[in-house]
Amino acid sequence: MLIIMSIFSFLFGSKQSKDSAIKRISASEFKEKINQKNVQLIDVRTPSEYKSGRIGKAKNIDFYSGKFNVEFNKLNKNEPIYLYCRSGNRSRQTAKKLEAMGFKEIYDLKGGIMSYR
């Protein structure tokens, strides 16, 4: 039984490999990192959600926008990028897209802005 579990774990284990560019981090770690320097901080919520309150000087790139790829291609893929949304779902999906686009260091706020406040 243990061998079968090990095989399943190997085949279907963590989707986030050790060499993944994506790191999901807690609200306290996120706050610490974005306050250290001028960072690429992106809010992927809708414009109306963004207007209701944002973190610091975050730039709004709507996850549902048709300009999603165009806007992200304007950013530096070699610099760390910090993402958040309302609850963490859209930012997690965004992180996967950005990794596929070649971004090297992606930080995703676990639990979104709801966990940050």
Q: Which residues are catalytic?
A: 85
- Label each residue of 22-83 as H, E or C: EEEECHHHHHHHHCCCCCEEEECCCHHHHHCCCCCCCEECCCCCCCHHHHHHCCCCCCCEEE
Contacts of 8 (CB under 8 A, 6+ apart): none
Strand 59-60, strand 81-84: pairing = unpaired
